Structures are given as structure tokens and as C-alpha cells.
Structure 1
Amino acid sequence: MWSNTAEGAGKGPLAGVRVVEAGQYISGPYAAKVLADLGADVIKIESAEGDPMRRWEGSGAMSPQFAAYNRNKRGVVIDLKSPAGIEQLLCLVDGADVFIENFRPGVATRLGFGPDALRERNRMVISCAITGFGPTGPYAKRPAYDTVISAVGGMYSQIVPESILRPLGPAFSDLLSGSAAVQAILASLHARPVRGEGEHVEVSMVGSLIDFLTEASSTYLETGQVAGPDSRPRRAQAYACVGSDGGAFVIHMSVPEKFWVGLVAVLEHPELATDERFSTREARVRNYDELDAVLKGITATRPRAHWLDRLNDYDIPHGPLNTVADLFDDPQVASMNLVEEITGSDGRPLRVPVHSAVFSHSGRRDYHAAPALGADNGILSTPQPKPTTPEGGTR
């Protein structure tokens, strides 16, 4: 059985955990990547053609997208449509704590590595299936890509105004379902010593979105109110402004009245304090659009740095609106050691963002680049260990 002992100190809190991943694109690979970042030994299974994300940029080279979602892993090529390939997969599962896949419902079982087949080989393994809509229901067998799930799961309605409908940028449903899978896997690993065996975990992309949209979902179920893109900013009293130099920044006043009082002082417009449209939080929520226009008009008179300094003087929640190009030059981000230089699979130096958690005892593992296709096929001919159970036997 896995354990995080002193032997794993400095290698991440999941040192000693082995994960087998038969995933492609984003949700499954992202879940396994997070576990790898935390110290787990992840073995990624690919076909001879490789995960389609390898060719995301349209060339034969490893795409930056594949590199991002598959770092810190070992890679093997297995033909999952052949009996010999299935046996190779099951041999890897013999020595694994976790198995992750994100095929359509029923595919893993049809090919021979469904939950029951894995349990027959290793009763301690935790198998996790990430699907678009779950294993049952009228949409279950449909192809599930992020754009579709973000639409069905309500994310579009919370971010994109109807007047400018367009696909979302970040792959919200892929990444959130991957994160939900990590949470479920860690919870199951925690419970396994007591239960004395592993279990099967189902995570759906659409369910992960609904859980993420807890506030909007719960508000609707309780009151019937339908949230939209401006619902949360209005209640939170959050505003985006632009200085005279074009620099954008945000202000978040939330509930405490002291932030509004301070903002009036920052703006040097004392008449706003007695304006009936803005004199109470309820009035500001009700007249959000009017106050937004007033703030934008005032902040456009001076450069962003002026406003950031003044907002800081009055301890008002604020920050620059960074692009990704700005992000790593931000003095706060630069101070947090969130970027590490590693050697890419082509031998060139590669800068990567690291996991943000900092552990006082187990430390952080040494990062390495995503594997070349089949780079670690040698382990397929090596007998896999049979870790012990809490009772001292083998799995």
C-alpha cells in the first residue's frame, strides 16, 4: 500500500503513488498531470499515433498544449485494441494505485479494462472514469468536447453576453472535471486504508460545471432567479476601469462600507457619497450600470499607476487587469517562484508554471518535460511490483 514516508520527503506529498493514465486531449491528462505535479509516478498510455493533442498545432512536433498537460509523466505506447495490449495495460495496473481514463461510457469495458476487469487484477486500485455527461442518460454516448459541455452545463450563460455569443477561451469543463477527478481520487486514497480496497469513481464534465457554478445553481433552485454574466459583479460590487494610459484594472468592494468610503476619497469626488443612486450598497447594486459609467469616466482622467497607488493607500481591494503576457512580469507573481526552467523533450530549455501549493515537509518534486511518444516502453517488459495491502498481503 502507498504511504508518504520520510523516504518520499522532497519529492512531493504523493511520492510512492503510481498512476496509470489512458487519457487523451485534456480532462484525463490534466487530472494525471496534477497528481504528477504532486509527486505521483504517472505512466501515460498512448496509441501508436499518440494522443491527438500532440499534434494540436498541426505539425509532427510536440505541441505546447500537449507539453502543458503531460509534464512529469512517463510515456508508453500500447495497442488497446489487441489482447496483447490489454494484457500490457493490466500488468501496469497490477502495480498501480490509480487508473484514469476519459473514453466515452462503456468503451473501457468493451475493450477489456473496465472497472471490474481492473478490480480482478488489483482490488486496491482506484479507477476513475471522466465522461462528458456521465454513464447514463440521453446524452451519455454523445461526443463530449469542452465547447459543447460549457454550453450544456451553463458556463456560457455566466460568462458570455447573449449579444456577443462566441466560444469560450479557456477549456473550463475539461479543466474543472480534471480537478474534480483529482479531488475524488485523493478522497478515495484517504478512505482506502479503512475500507481495505479500492473503488470506482465516476466524474462527469457537465456535473463538474454545475458544481462549480454552485452560487448560480443554488440561487436558481431556491429563488428562481436566473444569473447572467453581470449578476455576480453587481452583487460583489466589482468594477473594471481603464486609466488615461489605457492600463486596465479592477476594484472589488464586496460588502464592507469602508471600501466605498475609501473609494470616494480616492476618486476625489465627495459628492458621490451623498448621491442617492450610490449612497447605500443596495442602491449601488441596483444602479450598477450608472456607477460603472461614473467610475470609468473618472479613472480615464489619470494613468493606471496613479489609481493603483491611491487604491493601495486606502486599502481597497484592487489589481491590474493582466494579460498572460503581463502576468509573469507582475511583481507579485515574479516573487512567488511559480515558474521553473526545465529541459524540454527536444533538449531546449523550457519555462513552465509550477503547481502553486507549497508543502512544508514533503516539498516539491523535480519537474521534467512531457515524454516523447513511447519514450518509456522499456517498463512494459519489466515485471510490475505488487504493493502490499494494510493486512500485509499483495493486492
Structure 2
Amino acid sequence: MTSPLRGLRVLELSQFIAGPFAGLMLADLGAEVIKIERPDGGDPFRGFGTGAADNDRFAGYSHNFSAFNRNKRSVTIDLGTEPGRELLRDLVRKADVLLENYRPGVLDRMGLDYEALRQDNPGLIYCSISGFSEDGPYRDRPAYDAVGQAFSGILGTLLDPAKPRMRGPTITDQITGMQAAYGVLGALVERGRTGKGSRVEVSMLDASLYHMPDSFTALTQTGLEMASETRAAFSLTFAFRCQDGQLLAIQVSSTEKFWRALLKTIARTDLGDDSRFLDRPARIKNFSALVEELEPIFAAQPRQHWLDLLIAADVPCAPVNGIAEAMSDPEVVHAGLFHDVTHPRRGNLTMMHRAVRLDGEREDDPLPPPDLGEHTDAVLRSFDIAPERLAALRRQGVL
């Protein structure tokens, strides 16, 4: 049960984040995910990010690439050549899933579209990830994470309207990858019933809209358009800078006992009698005034002082951790999400397990992210590609 997708073969024709994250999720569940890459550099994410150019150990193996490509095998095939496309079609005949995030029309022009490949394998699950719908007005526009965030409204609820700046991790990319993996799993269940494959399609825009349904029901049911602090006001969520400069997060939500416990902890029960904060609707309406009342209180003591008191009072709170602090947090260490693996060329690496446990277990036998083409010969032999054909393809520069 730790690897429920063991025996499933996935061909991943994707790069950057959304497609690779979908492949990663399937790989973490035990699928054999075979990443098909161009021989001349592979996934552009290999050379992305800081440090790659300054450290020969990680040249072509950036931290960005590593993050989204664990538990996979890399095979190089030049799909720009007819022999390369023929080889891919041979692999498709023995695969279960093809996952791609090319721009709409690219694989069609190569003769590698769903309708063509289903002739080779009627049971194939063909999953396409795109920025926008493949037949819509934006089909030919390029899309990255910020584009999906911006179009969907996510970004509008995250930016400070007074000083808008992009911050934080990618969101739309991972959301889209999760939706793609979710669609693939559903299609596999249906194939188990009927024996037939299917086409799975997800756009970054659709996935992003799907991620925040309450924002749209707020608009359609009540006429309320969510702004950057609306959700915080409704859930009474705060971030305060304490005396020592450290940040503290608190979420009281709609639970009255947490609100009362917060006021008692900070010795300001009088705020509970203030007409501006008498009940939840009043606190939502006067949220900015409430923040102004609370900020100087938390600024008067160091963060640990407040954490000790709030935890003792059972108020939902947490330190606002940096990345290093998050990794070393006692709960994170106890959960065992991070672990070390060894790559034969790259050495020791710290990687993540999957977040989901099955029967109390993480995945077994995790693989480090692959070097470009690291598994080409072994994987192609497992698909019964003859040694003499492999040699010929190498001479032709296809592999």
C-alpha cells in the first residue's frame, strides 16, 4: 500500500513546474515516471536558479529542477526527428499515461496528439496541461505562474494594493500539477472499469479558479468582491511584529472562545466591550481598527513571550518561520518529511518524502532526481528496444 501505483508507466513530456509536479505526485505514489528530455540540455529548469553556474557539482542539476523531479528516470529523445517520434510511439504502446505541458498544437504538429496515440494504445491516459483552454481566445498566449495567478484573481487577493510586488512561492503551477494528477487518477479508475483510455485536460487558469471557490460564491451570493484583507478580516487572522523583530501569526477564526482567550492573554478584555468589536460582524467591519489596537501590544514583548502565553491559553498561533526554521521545527523533524538520498554523481542530497501517508508509511525506495539521460539505455531496454536500434539512434543523435 505504500506504493499503490507500482507497475504504472508514465511518460512525462514536460518542463518547468506544472507538468513535472504532476509527474512527481504520481512518482511519489509508486508510478514509474519516465521523463522524456531533449538531448541538448533537457528541461530548462536544470540550468535555472541560483548557484548552478557557480558550483560544478550542481551544473545542469539546479535546486529548482531537483525539487520537482525526484523519483523519476530521465531518457533523452529528440522528438524533432522522425526516428525520435517513432521511438516515442513505441514507448506509448507499452505505457499507461502520457503527461505533457507543451503549448497547444505543438504535439499535434508532430503527429503525437491524443487521437494519433490512442490508435497505438487505446488504454492510454493522455494528460495535457496548458495555460488556457486549447480552443479559447487565449490559446496561443504563453503562461507562467504569475499569469495564472493574475487572471484567476488569486494575485489580486495577495498583493498589497498600495505597493504591489510579487512575493512568495509559485502557486498556480503547483495547483495545476495537483489537478492534473487528480484527473489522471480519476481516468485510471475509469479505465479499470471500461478498459478504455481518455484525454485529461487542465489549464492553469481553470485550476487556479477552482482553488478558491469561496471567493466566487462570495461575489455571486452576496455581491462581496474579496480584496487583499477580506479573508483575513472574516477569519480574524493577524500577523504582528514583536519587540525582538520576530513575526507572529494568530488566527482566531469564528470561534468565540479563541477571541475571549486572546483578549485575556493580552490583558485587554476591555476590547470585548468596545462597540467596534462586540461581535464577529463588528470585528469584521472594523478589522483595520482592531489591528491598530493590537499591533502596539504585541510590539511591547518578544515573540517567545507571546507564544508561551498564547499556547498556554489554547489560542491558534505560530511563529512566522523562515525556510531554515521550518525545516528544523520539532514537529517537522518528528514527521520525517525530509530525508537524505545519495546520487552516484551528485553526492548526498536532502529531499522530501510525499506528504501523504498510506497505512502510516511514506513511499519506499525513493530515487534522487536524475541526471540528463541517466536512464536512457536501461529504460529503453525495459521497453524491449533492441540494442542495435539503440546504437543506431545514438549515431543519429536522437538519444
Q: Where does residue 318 of structure 1 map in the other structure?
A: 317
- How far apart are 1:366 and its partner, in Å? 1.8
Question: What aligned pairs does 1:1-395 form with structure 2 within 5 A after superposition?
Answer: 9-10=1-2, 12-49=3-40, 50-57=42-49, 59=53, 60-344=59-343, 346-360=345-359, 363-379=362-378, 381-382=380-381, 384=383
Asked if structure 2 preserves the Cα contact closer than 8 Å seen for 1:338 and 1:355, the reply is: yes
Q: After superposition, give the CA deviation of every residue in 1:80-108 in whole Å (9 maximum; x if it has no partner).
A: 11111111111221221111000111111
In 2, distance between residues paired with 1:29 and 1:375?
17
Structure 2, unmatched stretches of 5+, are 54-58, 385-399
AA paired with 1:241?
F
- How far apart are 1:368 and its partner, in Å? 1.6
TM-score (norm 1): 0.91
In 1, distance between residues paired with 2:16 and 2:77?
17
- How far apart are 1:380 and its partner, in Å? 5.8
- How far apart are 1:147 and its partner, in Å? 1.8
Asked if structure 2 preserves the Cα contact closer than 8 Å seen for 1:177 and 1:205, the reply is: yes
Q: After superposition, give the CA deviation of every residue in 1:173-217 in whole Å (9 maximum; x if it has no partner).
A: 111100110111111111211122110011000110110121112
Asked if structure 2 preserves the Cα contact closer than 8 Å seen for 1:94 and 1:384, the reply is: no
| Cα pair distance change 1:113/1:362, threshold 3 Å | farther
| Cα pair distance change 1:90/1:380, threshold 3 Å | farther
Which stretch shifts more, 146-155 or 197-206? 146-155
- How far apart are 1:383 and its partner, in Å? 5.9
Residue 156 of structure 2 aligns to a residue in which SS?
helix
Percent identity, aligned pairs only? 36
Q: After superposition, give the CA deviation of every residue in 1:110-134 in whole Å (9 maximum; x if it has no partner).
A: 1121111221111111110000001
In 1, distance between residues paired with 2:232 and 2:211?
17
* Alpha-carbon RMSD: 1.6
| Cα pair distance change 1:241/1:167, threshold 3 Å | closer
In 1, distance between residues paired with 2:166 and 2:27?
30
- How far apart are 1:361 and its partner, in Å? 7.1
Residue 128 of structure 2 aligns to a residue in which SS?
strand
AA paired with 1:145?
Y
Asked if structure 1 preserves the Cα contact closer than 8 Å seen for 2:353 and 2:363, the reply is: no
| Cα pair distance change 1:260/1:362, threshold 3 Å | closer
- How far apart are 1:247 and its partner, in Å? 1.9
Asked if structure 2 preserves the Cα contact closer than 8 Å seen for 1:156 and 1:168, the reply is: no
Aligned length: 376
AA paired with 1:54?
R
Asked if structure 2 preserves the Cα contact closer than 8 Å seen for 1:47 and 1:78, the reply is: yes
Q: Where does residue 4 of structure 1 map in the other structure?
A: none
- How far apart are 1:379 and its partner, in Å? 4.0
Residue 239 of structure 1 aligns to a residue in which SS?
strand
In 2, distance between residues paired with 1:345 and 1:325?
26
- How far apart are 1:345 and its partner, in Å? 5.5
- How far apart are 1:223 and its partner, in Å? 2.9
Residue 15 of structure 2 aligns to a residue in which SS?
coil
| Cα pair distance change 1:137/1:191, threshold 3 Å | same
Structure 1, unmatched stretches of 5+, are 1-8, 386-395
In 1, distance between residues paired with 2:377 and 2:361?
29
TM-score (norm 2): 0.90
- How far apart are 1:344 and its partner, in Å? 3.4
Residue 48 of structure 1 aligns to a residue in which SS?
coil
Q: After superposition, give the CA deviation of every residue in 1:263-314 in whole Å (9 maximum; x if it has no partner).
A: 1110112211211111211111111111111111111111111211111122
- How far apart are 1:162 and its partner, in Å? 2.1
Asked if structure 1 preserves the Cα contact closer than 8 Å seen for 2:247 and 2:303, the reply is: yes
